[in-house]
Amino acid sequence: MAIGLQGQRIEIEQARLSNPQISADASGFYDPAGSDVSAKLSLPDLTPLGPGYRGSLRADVTATGTLDAGRAVLTGQGDNLAIGNSQADSLLKGQSTLDASASFRDRKIQIENATLSNPQLSVKANGSVSDDVRQLQMEARLANLALLVPEFPGAVTISGTASEDGNGVQLDLKGTGPGGIDGRISGRIDEGFGSADLSIKGSSQAALANAFLGGRAISGRTEVDLRLNGPFALSSISGQARLSGGRFSAPNLPFGLNDLAATANLASNVAQISVKASPSTGGNLTVDGSINLSAPNVADLQTTLRDVVVKDPDLYNIMLSGDVTVKGPLTGGAVIGGELRIREAEFRVPTTGFTAIGSLPDLKHSNEPAAVRATRFKAGLIDLGSNGAGTTRRPFGLNLVISAPSRMFIRGRGIDAELGGRVVIRGDTNNVIPSGSFELIRGRLDILGKRLVLDEAQLLLQGDLIPTLNIVANNESDDVVTSVVIEGRADDPEITFSSVPDLPQEEVLARLLFGRDIQDISALQAVQLANAVATLAGKGGEGIISKLRKGFGLDDFDVSTGDDGEVSLKAGKYISTRVYTEVEVDQKGRSQINLNLDLKKNVTVRGSVGADGQAGLGVFFEKDY
């Protein structure tokens, strides 16, 4: 370092600071009557600044004159800068240059030019700073929004003015870009940035938010007309936000939402929301109510479903209507209540598992590509973790009724049964406590041409949409009562055979199918027995009767053979919620029409009319004890 003094003038012949992380050089002179100083700064590696920092930075600064009549110029260059934020880092790739110049006149600073530019981003500003007012005009341009939101390529520009007079900052900013971005912020920010009075208006495509929604996706047009008046807090915001023509999907939803229209009116820290949508599987739904914007986000919401279809192509198809409420804090502890009515449902016992070898427990992915991992995350198959690891959230309480007086069908593996009933679900989302069940109305089990009328059938819900089955069919022959029991989850039930007196299961099945001991059956019957076991085990496929029933659009279709060998055909259909009609025709052309009318929960009127003119009528009262 070499410095000389000549009166009030300081000569800087050479001043140098150097270590592995930084180097700085300065030269020139300082004089109250006029200075001329130059400096060079170099940071070859920003890594020591902290985690996430990368790249290199160089800058040159010159200052001449005085504060009353002077000028300063700054030029700088950065290469592949990074600060540890993936989105910001993507905007700083390549070479970034900084050019700034300012002049000083009568203790007023005039910013002639301030420019930051790189291949992705450019920012320009100019203005003035004095004791009375500080004003800045600026313009920023993002070359391609697809760097942040891949669905929306194109440039984004923000321009406007900001002025400060000692009492606060006056803003007038406007932004435009792809995805329908057109917004404006105007108003005042008080001194100290403690409060503001701002108007926020604009519109854009909702898909701009997808970059921040994880595996969820939304689309549609959004419009906001908001005002922030008070401290920088949600309680200070009022106005309206709207979404129209929207679509929404999420891995944990059983359907997508189409024709989505939503309105949120904000005032006094509360959002009054109204949502209408059409599920992709059919039907429609609405959500109305309020949500407090501050934690714990207390809500009072009501969801109304009308003929909404929930389905899994391999397991179930359910049509729901009803009203469900959510009341309480959404951060945990709210209560889900209401009633869901099942208009019609079909639960299919699959012929096989989803794959030939079933699920693969504890499957680990080795050297998994980032794209594959991202796809599994968006599908809801993995959790990439959160900052709140180890924390728990209070579960939601449950007080929900699911009712289906009839038209709940279980089909597959030879089963064709109709159930009805009512289930009350209590407990909470961590410990679901159901009471009640769906009980047998009518049903049968076909196995190798053997027709068994079901004696019992129950369907229980225990926490998800895959129910638990309990189906029993009995047959008596030669003083031996044989039973088929099918129980377990509907996607993988277990089949057992029993008898009174107790016999081995293969003996029970032989007596059930052929009415004789297993030692007495023929080789062909042994093959048939093996085929029957395969059918019950889920390897028999869908039968022709089931295909015909679907093709005719019937609720029940059956072809049976009586003890006398005569064949009869039966077709049944619900013609309304309470009325079930059935037509039966035998091989001689004799027909009979049966009609069931459910007057009340436990009272049914049954009538029949035959082709020969015979008719019957009865009133039945049924009660479980």
Report DSSP letters for 515-542, one per residue: SS-GGG--HHHHHHHHHHHHHHTT-S--
pLDDT tens per residue, range 348-365: 887 654 333 344 556 677
Can you give the pLDDT at residue 342? 92
Q: Which residue has the higher pLDDT, 283 or 295?
A: 283
Cα–Cα distance measured from residue 549 to residue 449, given in angstroms and rounded to the nearest whole number: 18
Cα–Cα distance measured from residue 319 to residue 279, given in angstroms and rounded to the nearest whole number: 12
Q: Which two tokens stand for residue 556?
A: 């029940």
Closest CA to 187 of 125, 137, 224, 230: 230
pTM: 0.64
Most confident of the ranges 142-156, 413-427, 444-458, 567-581: 413-427
On the question of pLDDT at 618 being above 50, the answer is yes
Q: Which residue has the higher pLDDT, 307 or 474?
A: 307
Q: pLDDT grade, residue 212 (50/70/90)?
A: confident
125: three-class secondary structure by DSSP? strand
Q: Which two tokens stand for residue 582?
A: 């059935």
- Token pair 């007596």 in the structure block, residue: 511
Can you give the pLDDT at residue 565? 53
pLDDT tens per residue, range 506-526: 777 777 776 677 777 666 566
Q: Which two tokens stand for residue 469?
A: 């089955």
Torsion of CA 289, 293, 298, 301, to 10 degrees: 20
Torsion of CA 50, 51, 55, 56, to 10 degrees: 10
Q: pLDDT grade, residue 390 (50/70/90)?
A: very low
Can you give the pLDDT at residue 386? 45
Most confident of the ranges 108-112, 154-158, 167-171, 271-275: 271-275
Q: Which two tokens stand for residue 291?
A: 């949500």
Torsion of CA 79, 80, 84, 89, to 10 degrees: 120
- Token pair 């049966």 in the structure block, residue: 594
Closest CA to 225 of 256, 255, 183: 183
Cα–Cα distance measured from residue 316 to residue 467, given in angstroms and rounded to the nearest whole number: 10
Per-residue pLDDT, averaged over 139-149, amounts to 85
Can you give the pLDDT at residue 356? 36
Cα–Cα distance measured from residue 160 to residue 110, given in angstroms and rounded to the nearest whole number: 18
C-alpha distance across the termini of the chain, in Å: 102
Q: Which residues contact 163 (CB under 8 A, 6 or more apart)?
A: 133, 134, 135, 136, 169, 170
Per-residue pLDDT, averaged over 24-38, amounts to 86
pLDDT tens per residue, range 39-58: 999 999 988 888 888 999 99
Q: Which helix (H) or strand (E) holds 508?
A: helix 505-514
* Neighbour tally for 396: CB within 10 Å: 17
Q: Which residue has the higher pLDDT, 107 or 118?
A: 118
